[in-house]
Amino acid sequence: MIDREVQIFTDGACRGNPGPGGWGVLLRSGKTEKELWGGEPDTTNNRMELTSAIRGLEALNRASSIVLTTDSQYVRKGITEWIKGWKAKGWKNASRQPVKNRDLWERLDELCETHNVDWRWVKGHSGHLENERADALANRGIDELGDL
């Protein structure tokens, strides 16, 4: 049973592609907010965009009604449109090539089975307050890689 509404704002970043990357998440439920971030030393921007959505959903301890806002059309369209075809074709894309980042797509798909997710897109770096905060968290994830 879904008994609460949560807003999740996600972003991924990469310095070089591939290169060091980071992911950032802002979660909001009522007046409560939580920030999450992390990084990987050698990754791609798309992997970080997917990871941010996954980490946001993994942070929830029960089924929720979610509005998840991303600036990645790759993530939004992938999970809402493309994934059905990929699964039907044995995880092959329209060019009959293996789907990139299949491990992350499978995890995201699994998490979406638990929650009611309304996927929203916002243009990145357009002044959207929560997207800018998620971007800053993703960059913090990269910056903190140097602290290891």
Tens of pLDDT, residue by residue over 70-101, are 999 999 999 999 999 999 999 999 999 999 99
- Catalytic, 103? Answer no
Q: What is the pLDDT of residue 147?
A: 65
Active site residue 49: yes
Single-letter amino acid, residue 115: H
Tokens of 147: 């602290």
- 21, 56, 115, 135: the catalytic one is 135
Q: How far is CA 55 from CA 13, 39, 58, 60, 91, in A?
A: 15, 12, 5, 9, 23
Which pLDDT score is estimated for 148?
53
State CA 23 to chain mean position distance.
Answer: 8
pTM of the model as a whole: 0.95
- 43-47, 116-120, 124-128: the lowest-pLDDT one: 124-128
The reply to whether CATH 3.40.1410.10 applies to domain 5-147 is no
Give yes or no: 125 in active site: yes
Residue of 24, 39, 71, 115 with catalytic role: 71
Whether 143 is catalytic is: no
- Spell out the domain ranges in the chain: 5-147
Catalytic residue among 85, 110, 125, 144: 125
Catalytic site includes residue 135 = yes
Confidence of residue 3 (pLDDT cuts 50, 70, 90): low
**pLDDT confidence band for 126 (50 / 70 / 90):** very high
Q: Considering the candidates 49, 56, 78, 115, report the single residue annotated as catalytic.
A: 49
| Phi, psi angle pair for 110, to nearest 5° | -60, -45
